[in-house]
Structure 1
Amino acid sequence: MAEEQAQLRGKPSAVPEEYGWPSLMERDGDELETHYRHVLENLGKQKGMLGLIFKKAQNKIQDPAKLRRLIVELIDKEQWTSIASDVKGDAYEGLLEKNASDVKGGAGQYFTPRALIAAMVDAMAPQPGQTICDPACGTGGFLLAAHDYLVKHHELDREQKKALRNETLFGIELVDSVTRLCAMNLLLHGIGGDTDAKELPVTTKDGLSGKHGEYDMVLANPPFGKKSSVTIVNEAGEQQKEALIINRDDFWASTSNKQLNFLQHIFTILKQHGRAAVVLPDNVLFEGGAGETIRRELLKQADVHTLLRLPTGIFYAQGVKANVVFFDRKPAQEKPWTSKLWIYDLRTNMHFTLKTNPLKRSDLDDFVNCYFGGDVSPQASAAGSESQPYLGNRHDRKETDRFKSFDYADLVKRDKANLDIFWLKDESLEDSANLPDPDVLALEITEDLEAALEQFATIAEDLKE
């Protein structure tokens, strides 16, 4: 693609000439295989997105004849730049989703349902000029959805487009290989390609190790799981056990709970009046000790205005019960910033599965409408259009069967400031005629058992260590 773009624009390729595409086309046999290995090695040492994408890249095709056929007869025959970026992006997303569905070997742990991401971004409604961060970005789903929202809903001028490419979206990822996936994903969507950009859109590091900037918006699904310790082998080959407790003087409480730490971290990287939407498991809502401390401080120091209770059966990690917490960071003051928490229950009497009944964006339409206090579809208002949606007013919210509000005073009176609140009756508990289909029931039981087994395996591993 770099070579095609160079020919179209009459400018030098972003890839150095000696490692460019023509250097592969003019070689054959062992010479090609040797040169290709050197190309990968040297591109991995380049600055910017190129170096990030090719870092530690290896040639997996040892047969020179197959490598030649792949390069000359397959890849070179296609005009890649003439394929619209959204087509390339869709193909890449499809590949990621296929890998993610293979739970044991794939990227399932990094994969958030795209319908949920789209609804979260629609509710947050990012604006041009705002900086957006995902401190546990995985393959970049939230960043891409925010990018697509800005392109679709705003007429951007040249400077705004440049800012969107290089100064708007930022991701942090712990695992090198996943950072590579994210960088490729972003580059295919035209993000981060400028070599003169001050900062790469995605970086490999431990997001919890310290602050890495302040942002107008955070969209995230921090990794699930809760190991209390990790075994590290030192230089002498000796095993050491280190507790996974993060000590940060800007945190309200020290804990080994990864999600509670990410919640605190996200608060610290928001600018004043910055906004966040974070996917968190149920235990964050009711856990005592550090969990209670963090919830009380968050309710006081931020405006925690919305909680979406998610249905089961939508994540590749089996049996996960999760929520989306929406909050705005505010300046310090004596009076608590949260006045009302609005909770939308998309879990009770809702049944989804990954394959037979997957979560669709339309399943979240009612939540997004409730979030904005009215029907925000383009057809609903003359003020709205496909390019500039009508976003309603959060202060005009009205209660429905699934959407209820709870005052701050009532929340902090609850035992441990427990936010795991529900009010709808589970129909399956009242009348066997309302039970889900047997295959749905069987799948839910299987998911719960697998989740329990995974937790016990973690406990057993910790005890063994």
Structure 2
Amino acid sequence: MIQGELRSRIDRVWDAFWSGGISNPLEVIEQITYLLFLRRLDDLQDNAERKARFTGSPIENPVYLTGQEHLRWKNLRELSPDQMFVRMSGEVFPYLQNLGHQLSGGDSTFTQHMKGARFTIPNAQLLTKVVDMLDQVPMENRDTNGDLYEYMLSKLATSGTNGQFRTPRHIIELMVDLMAPKPGDRIVDPACGTAGFLVAASEYLREHHEELFRDAKHRKAFHTSMFSGFDFDSTMLRIGSMNMLMHGVENPEIAYRDSLSEGAAGEESRYTLILANPPFAGSLDYDTTSSDLLRMVKTKKTELLFLALFLRLLEPGGRAAVIVPDGVLFGSSKAHKELRKAIVEDQKLDAVIKLPSGVFRPYAGVSTAILLFTKTDSGGTEDVWFYDVRADGFSLDDKRNPIDDTDLPDVRKRWAERHGSEKDRARTEQSFCVPKAEIVEQGYDLSLNRYKEIEYEEVEHRDPADIIADIKQLNAEIDRELAELEEMLR
């Protein structure tokens, strides 16, 4: 995470936005995102010009055409505050909105999302502060870029506004570590928001699979076809696309789509890994919901429909780590039971990891769990691994302050042993395995408490007659001392 002067600059700019009347953290990040993209375009033009000079050939796919040089970042920052403000609102943003049409062959998902860009910075003084701050960011450093953006996104959660878009980073990293993405994976988040899962997966691959970047074919796949994310909020798509770009993934598939709708067809069996925390509030109208999903599970509950969607999106052998509300684990409706039965009987349920109820505070106190499963279409569930996470490294109140107590390293360690020593652990432990036959016997109930055994310590109580005698003795002593006090006061 960024520290020092750069962090202080961002905090000051953030405060300036609020003072200027922009209090929605999504809008703040969106405006900063546009300017970050504008600066990146300048760097891309510089690289294209250097290549042209070296080869002696014309510039390929120029970002800025003849007559557009005055719109470049390096020229804008030389203007006075008032001049910069007028040019930004009157010329630069119309240019950004039409950039996708201008770039022939070099179009990206982010330029497509920029079509709806709106300039809402209220005054020249604030614009100058933001430009000065961003001008200090070393854009050639992927780690710094990523840390800058992560710090801004963290303000979505701390603000208490629109925080529902943000899954805690340490929970995302846990899920990615358990899934261990590998070269060749096609990774999707059908409700991607800020693209946190996709970013974490890309960082995992950079750290654990350097061979990806030594091969031109694999490197191209990493930047174009390995990561897919869908959302139906245009603002989130712009922010998510920039998040990926700032973390060094150049052109992922980040697209506008209602993943549960009838129009989201053609995706069946396309992906090898799903990482997601889909929305699980409210319900949908049957008229807008995919008939394929409704054939799998007849319900209006989004959490069940998303589970059905995950099974549809995965190819056989594909894996998923997804967050679900506790009701999915033990709900008694026909749809709940049928979906759990399908996962246990027709696919391979690997694990249920119960999360503390405070993980999503301050904006939600709902109890959740992580489901980990593999699509087989031929069964395969044997022993299901359960883990009861009681501490995640943060206080479980609205403040979510860092604490020393955390079970997450132990989750990673014991997940690796789930086929070995974990099978011998008692049901009184924090993690244990449950055979499929017992889950079937319990009506496919997947709640941890259904299988956990609680040890009760035997407590020896004193004889009530002895306690009453002690009380009488104490009362007698009190009466005696009160009588002595009265004598003293006469």
TM tier relative to shorter chain = 0.7 to 0.9
Superposition RMSD in Å:
3.1
Q: Quick one: distance in 1 between partners of 2:237 and 2:375?
A: 28
Give the C-alpha shift of residue 122 in structure 1.
Answer: 0.8
Q: Does 1:420 align with 2:465?
A: no
Q: Does 1:158 align with 2:215?
A: yes
Q: Does 1:299 align with 2:344?
A: yes
Q: Does 1:113 align with 2:168?
A: yes
Partner of 1:174: 232
- Report matched runs for 1:14-413 at 5 Å: 15-17=63-65, 18=68, 19-22=71-74, 24-25=76-77, 32-37=84-89, 38-47=91-100, 48-64=108-124, 67=127, 71=131, 73-76=132-135, 78=136, 80-82=138-140, 84-103=141-160, 105-106=161-162, 108-156=163-211, 157-159=214-216, 160-193=218-251, 200-209=252-261, 210-211=264-265, 213=267, 214-227=270-283, 246-248=290-292, 251-287=295-331, 288-316=333-361, 317-331=363-377, 333=378, 336-347=379-390, 352-353=396-397, 355-358=399-402, 363-373=407-417, 394=419, 397-400=422-425, 401-413=429-441
Gap change, CA 1:358 and 1:280, over 3 Å in 2? farther
Q: Secondary structure at the match of 1:35?
A: helix
Q: Which runs of 5+ in 1 are unaligned?
A: 194-199, 230-241, 375-393, 432-465
TM-score (normalizing by structure 2): 0.70
Gap change, CA 1:62 and 1:113, over 3 Å in 2? closer
Q: Quick one: distance in 2 between partners of 1:411 and 1:85?
A: 46
Q: Quick one: distance in 1 between partners of 2:387 and 2:125?
A: 58
Partner of 2:14: none
User: Which of these two proteins has the greater Rg computed from alpha carbons?
Assistant: 2
Give the C-alpha shift of residue 291 in structure 1.
Answer: 0.8
Q: Secondary structure at the match of 1:268?
A: helix
Q: Does 1:4 align with 2:47?
A: no
Gap change, CA 1:21 and 1:146, over 3 Å in 2? same
Gap change, CA 1:315 and 1:427, over 3 Å in 2? farther
Contact 2:280 2:301 (C-alpha < 8 Å) held by counterparts: no
Q: Secondary structure at the match of 1:126?
A: coil
Give the C-alpha shift of residue 45 in structure 1.
Answer: 2.9
Contact 2:272 2:315 (C-alpha < 8 Å) held by counterparts: yes
Residues 199-232 of structure 1, C-alpha deviations (whole Å, 9 max, x = no match): x421111011234531110011111312466xxx
Residues 286-312 of structure 1, C-alpha deviations (whole Å, 9 max, x = no match): 112111111111112210011101111
Q: Quick one: distance in 2 between partners of 1:149 and 1:127?
A: 9
More helix by share: 2
Partner of 1:445: none
Tell which has more relative contact order, 1 or 2 (C-alpha 8 A, sep 6+): 1
Contact 1:33 1:62 (C-alpha < 8 Å) held by counterparts: no
Gap change, CA 1:370 and 1:70, over 3 Å in 2? closer
Q: Secondary structure at the match of 2:174?
A: helix
Contact 1:114 1:141 (C-alpha < 8 Å) held by counterparts: yes
Q: Secondary structure at the match of 1:278?
A: strand
Q: Secondary structure at the match of 2:399?
A: coil
Contact 1:348 1:426 (C-alpha < 8 Å) held by counterparts: no
Q: Quick one: distance in 1 between partners of 2:246 and 2:392?
A: 40
Q: Quick one: percent identity of the two aligned structures?
A: 29
Q: Quick one: distance in 2 between partners of 1:349 and 1:158?
A: 38
Give the C-alpha shift of residue 141 in structure 1.
Answer: 1.0
Q: Quick one: distance in 2 between partners of 1:328 and 1:7?
A: 46
Give the C-alpha shift of residue 188 in structure 1.
Answer: 0.5
Q: How many residues align?
A: 384
Gap change, CA 1:250 and 1:399, over 3 Å in 2? farther
Contact 1:344 1:404 (C-alpha < 8 Å) held by counterparts: yes
Give the C-alpha shift of residue 120 in structure 1.
Answer: 1.0
Give the C-alpha shift of residue 69 in structure 1.
Answer: 6.5
Residues 315-355 of structure 1, C-alpha deviations (whole Å, 9 max, x = no match): 03322100001000014x4xx42122111111499973453
Residues 360-408 of structure 1, C-alpha deviations (whole Å, 9 max, x = no match): 895311111111117xxxxxxxxxxxxxxxxxxx466434311222222
More off after superposition, 315-324 vs 352-361:
352-361
Name the amino acid aligned to 1:312: S
Residues 409-443 of structure 1, C-alpha deviations (whole Å, 9 max, x = no match): 2212224x221132154999x99xxxxxxxxxxxx
Q: Quick one: distance in 2 between partners of 1:365 and 1:175?
A: 34
Q: Secondary structure at the match of 1:60?
A: coil
TM-score (normalizing by structure 1): 0.74
Residues 45-98 of structure 1, C-alpha deviations (whole Å, 9 max, x = no match): 333234245232222235446545754x5544x36324x222221121111111
Give the C-alpha shift of residue 101 in structure 1.
Answer: 2.1
Name the amino acid aligned to 1:182: G
Q: Quick one: distance in 2 between partners of 1:185 and 1:413?
A: 46
